[in-house]
Amino acid sequence: MRGRALSDENEKLENLPLDDWHRGKGARMVGFAGYHMPIQYNKDQGGGIVAEHDWTRAQASLFDVSHMGQLMLTGENAAAELEKLLPGAIASLKPGRVRYSLLLNEEGGVLDDLMVTNATPWIEPVLDDEGAEIEAGHWGEPAYYIVVNGATKHDDIAFLREHLADDVTLNHMEDHALIALQGPKASNALGRVMRGVPDGLVFMQSTLYDFGEWPLRITRAGYTGEDGFEISVPAEFVQPLADRLCAEIEVRPAGLGARDSLRLEAGLPLYGHDLTAEIDPVSADLTFALSKKRREEGGYHGHAQIAAALKDGPASFRVGLVLEGRLPAREGAEVFAGDERIGTVTSGGFSPTLGHPIAMAYVDKAHADVGIELAVMVRNKRLPAKVTAMPFVPHNYYRGN
């Protein structure tokens, strides 16, 4: 028996701050994005990819995503400078709000997908001894907290340094870990540990929170399709924080395997597979990340190419496929309409929630409509597949009442 997935065993891997913690919980570690990372935890303690996947959909799971790049951009012109590289509205993003966006090359290809938070600090008013205001409260220097993919972070940083004006400061927060608490019970668990915190946030909002002496940034977002939180924490405190959260009855650790099957069910693209520098945001079905006003105004990398793709429709399109049977189609599998090759699977697997295989594929525009019957070739077998709206499993975000 031998796995078909290739892993580069010669790659020099680094340890994340929670490395010992993962190993102590019986994690199986694999190389990912240059780090030793847990793919799944010990079966005897409720681990395994499907068990962790199901637990996340029903309860809450703790994922270590410290491999991801955490950046802080500061400067009066930070938003304007970012808007030259991202197609989203950053200047109008209010403090504490989060936006999904794309880092674009000059041709409009996607270099990375990322989350931007307006992290501009509120400066409290200065009072004299009688309590009278000497200086009014006000917003401090504009700051943007950006989370980028682990495998691309060093290239992203180099690209940002090259393209951002010199008066914007970029700080790579390498001394910070990042953990994600995800699942329908995440809010219950977090609220018990940090009273009131979940109540102050809806999906795509972010706040600073001092948990005792640990300064945290808590963002209500994630990569599973479930309600949940991402918590940025100085690396020295991440282990006790992970222990504190996992002490809650709803919370168990989950690894990269479950993270991948969860995000696939949620229809969320994985950079390097479903998104690359050769793919534009329109083909990737990410037009929601192109802020409406900026679609006309432009002023960002690749705007001409993107505007043309919006007007004429792209040549191919990222779609969801539902397969019959149980045999999964993996990345690279060819997609056919009749005898004609019309696309390629970019990620695929077995959906634990739905009980059948699902996939994302790029297919020619003419075959991209929901309901169209196609076929995927796996080891010379023709598997019937149907174009399906994504997400495959409905999102369960908390958007307030």
Partner 1 sequence: MARYFTEEHEWIDVEGDTATVGITDYAQEQLGDIVFVELPEVGATVDKGKDAAVVESVKAASDVYAPISGEVVETNASLDDDPSLVNSSPEDDGWFFKLTIADKGQLDGLMDQAAYKSFCDGL
Residues near partner 1, by CB under 8 A = 1-5, 39-40, 43, 48-50, 53, 257, 261, 326-328, 330, 349-350, 352, 357, 379
Residue at token pair 């077998």: 381
Question: For residues 332 and 338, which CB has a smaller minimum distance to partner 1 in the complex?
Answer: 332
Q: In whole angstroms, how close is the CB of 269 to partner 1 at the nearest point? A: 19
Q: In whole angstroms, how close is the CB of 261 to partner 1 at the nearest point? A: 6
**Kind of pairing between the strands at 356-364 and 340-351:** antiparallel
CA distance 123 to 383: 60
CA distance 30 to 196: 37
Which amino acid type is present at position 106? E
Question: For residues 96 and 257, which CB has a smaller minimum distance to partner 1 in the complex?
Answer: 257
Question: For residues 41 and 229, which CB has a smaller minimum distance to partner 1 in the complex?
Answer: 41
Question: For residues 18 and 258, which CB has a smaller minimum distance to partner 1 in the complex?
Answer: 258
Question: For residues 298 and 325, which CB has a smaller minimum distance to partner 1 in the complex?
Answer: 325
CA distance 278 to 276: 5
> Would you state the structure tokens that stand for residue 171, as one six-digit string?
């700080």
Residue at token pair 């700051």: 143
CB 228 within 8 A of CB 56: no
Backbone angles phi, psi at 356, to 5 degrees: -150, 170
Q: In whole angstroms, how close is the CB of 301 to partner 1 at the nearest point? A: 35
Question: For residues 284 and 378, which CB has a smaller minimum distance to partner 1 in the complex?
Answer: 378
Backbone angles phi, psi at 119, to 5 degrees: -105, 25
Q: In whole angstroms, how close is the CB of 225 to partner 1 at the nearest point? A: 17
Q: In whole angstroms, how close is the CB of 49 to partner 1 at the nearest point? A: 5
User: Which helix H or strand E contains 60, and what residues bound it?
Assistant: strand 60-64
Q: In whole angstroms, how close is the CB of 369 to partner 1 at the nearest point? A: 28
Which amino acid type is present at position 93? L
Question: For residues 356 and 386, which CB has a smaller minimum distance to partner 1 in the complex?
Answer: 356
E strands of 121-241, at which residues? 122-123, 126-127, 133-135, 138-139, 143-148, 169-172, 176-182, 206-211, 214-219, 228-234
Q: In whole angstroms, how close is the CB of 290 to partner 1 at the nearest point? A: 34
